[in-house]
Amino acid sequence: MSGQTESGTEFQSIYGADALADFDPATQLGEPGKYPFTRGVYPTMYTQRPWTMRQYAGFGTATESNARYQELIANGTMGLSVAFDLPTQMGYDSDDAMAAGEVGKVGVAIDSIEDMKVLFDNIPLDKVSTSMTINAPAAVLLLLYQLVAEEQGISADQLTGTIQNDVLKEYIARGTYIFPPAPSLRLISDIFAYCKDEIPKWNTISISGYHMAEAGATPAQEIAFTLADGIAYVQAAIDAGLAVDDFAPRLSFFFVSRTTILEEVAKFRAARRIWAKIMTERFGAKNPKSQMLRFHTQTAGVQLTAQQPEVNMVRVAVQALAAALGGTQSLHTNSFDEAIALPTQKAARLALRTQQVIAYESDVTKTVDPFAGSYVVESLTDDVEAEAWKLINEIDDRGGAVRAIEQGFQKNEIEQSAYHYAQQVDTGDRVVVGVNRFTLDEEEHYDPLRLDPTIGEQQAQRLADLRANRDNAAVEAALEKIREAGRGSDNLLYPMKEALKAKATVGEVCNALRDVWGLYQPNDAF
């Protein structure tokens, strides 16, 4: 009896030595910490220290989010992961008409340096690694973070963390883009160059497959489309005059971890192997750190259910185990109540405890790449790799990731996979516990976290106070320098930093670039 993997290849009920008849351990497996990094990017992996435990958090005001961060740090979180609200993600201030009804809803509202100061109040930025899920306005939020650190007396070369900064996947699957692709890639290249000189320990991009997977991408599609975007970013930086080994060591990736443990482990291993080959053979990277695929993982939000939400605790534990077995560098575990509302404090703490149990009570961390040599996992790794290469080559044939995006290729492929998945759930061919099998006649009552409905008004008042007490002439002069840099070729981050230091808002800085570059208009004709 056989079935299919999530990526659509055949799943054997029994795997034996014949599954690895063409398997070459020297070239396909290698040693941990060495090319092609199938077994992990570091020689010792978790045997000396576990992955970084991050918890994605941010809601309402900066004050509320700061309180949650303090709670997470007190309970053992090793890194913060900041969620921003939709207006911030789209580069709009909280008092903009476009922000109405969305302020503080899916993340924290950040309008200026004053909000950023509150967000990280009493948090030692030289000791905490911070990841920020921000894309089109990533440069703005990174610079605000640097300015807050400087006010704390911390130099930029001490800062560690990551900005997502992956705008190409926004055109494919998520939609929080601002500018057209060409200037967006220029801004990303400017970030690479700026951080090389100013914030050298910072991960300048987290090239994300997570949101494509949440939109319906299969594991093979997730890594193929993500690595194809990675190729586009590397090429853009090289075209801007940067040497590959000067910026590639700070590239990082972001993947989902589903409940299908075996294929997820295979996916992570295949992704490392593919990227190592791309960087060495396509771009001539010599530094082993340029060849490594380092990645953050988040458990699968799309697999959480509002029905019987406590069952999500089991799902998250299984997904977290898959990420650890697959060799992730950092991990966020979703809270069981996120399918209903923003996570409660207790649920967020339990999500963190899930990671801690795996790291400290299981034996997963005692050996590197526990599945190495497994008939099934090595065979699945080869299968996922082969499927991913087919898609990468298809994108190359279409002229690269940007051209393929403009043609609607990735979006169409993902939508077809999502439709197929939905059909399987509807027919019962795919079991979702509590949804289409093992259901309850009546769901138990659950009291979700509720936000203050006046957050938008509070943020608007803070903005009014800010504009009334700053030097508006200095702000406008600084914004004009951003427009000049946008029309020219100078690195944009330097004038942006000066404007933010003068208390320009996130929306004002983004509007200065909108004035020059315009807005991206998607082509939905395909």
**How much is the pLDDT for 226?**
98
The proportion of the chain whose per-residue pLDDT surpasses 90, expressed as a percent, equals: 88
* pLDDT confidence band for 267 (50 / 70 / 90): very high
Tokens of 324: 């650890």
pTM of the predicted structure, to 2 decimals: 0.93
Task: Yes or no: say if 228 and 271 are a contact pair by the CB < 8 Å rule.
Answer: no
Q: Is the pLDDT of residue 283 over 70?
A: yes
Q: Is the pLDDT of residue 379 over 90?
A: yes
222 or 60, greater pLDDT: 222
pLDDT, average across residues 13-37 = 91
pLDDT, average across residues 156-165 = 97
**How much is the pLDDT for 524?**
60
Q: Is the pLDDT of residue 2 over 60?
A: no
Please name each of the domains of the chain with its CATH number. Answer: 35-427 (3.20.20.240)
Nearest alpha-carbon partner for 207 in 269, 268, 252? 252
Count the Cβ atoms, other than its own, within 10 Å of residue 394: 15
Q: Is the pLDDT of residue 245 over 60?
A: yes
**How much is the pLDDT for 19?**
87
Nearest alpha-carbon partner for 199 in 236, 238, 151, 250? 250
Helix (H, G, I), strand (E, B) or coil at 260: coil
d(CA 5, CA 384): 9
**How much is the pLDDT for 514?**
98
Q: Is the pLDDT of residue 438 over 70?
A: yes
As a whole number, the mean pLDDT across the chain is: 95
* pLDDT confidence band for 51 (50 / 70 / 90): very high
107-150 residue pLDDT tens? 999 999 999 999 999 999 999 999 999 999 999 999 999 999 99
Written as one letter, the residue type at 6 is E
Count the Cβ atoms, other than its own, within 10 Å of residue 298: 27
174-215 residue pLDDT tens? 899 999 999 999 999 999 999 999 999 999 999 999 999 999
The proportion of the chain whose per-residue pLDDT surpasses 70, expressed as a percent, equals: 99
Residues whose CB falls within 8 Å of the CB of residue 8, separated by 6 or more in sequence, listed in order:
218, 220, 387
pLDDT, average across residues 403-407 = 95
Q: Is the pLDDT of residue 332 over 80?
A: yes
Cα–chain center distance at 496: 24
Give whole-number Cα distances, 332 to 170, 205, 298, 366, in Å: 21, 17, 5, 21
Q: What is the DSSP letter of 437?
A: B
d(CA 135, CA 167): 6
d(CA 338, CA 233): 32
525 or 504, greater pLDDT: 504
Helix (H, G, I), strand (E, B) or coil at 296: strand
**How much is the pLDDT for 499?**
98
Residues 231-235: contacts with CB within 8 Å, 24+ apart? 231/278, 231/282, 231/392, 231/400, 231/401, 232/168, 232/185, 232/400, 232/401, 232/402, 233/168, 233/185, 233/188, 233/205, 233/207, 234/279, 234/283, 235/400
pLDDT, average across residues 392-417 = 97
Give whole-number Cα distances, 146 to 129, 389, 442, 498, in Å: 13, 39, 50, 12
**How much is the pLDDT for 525?**
42
Tokens of 58: 């941010």
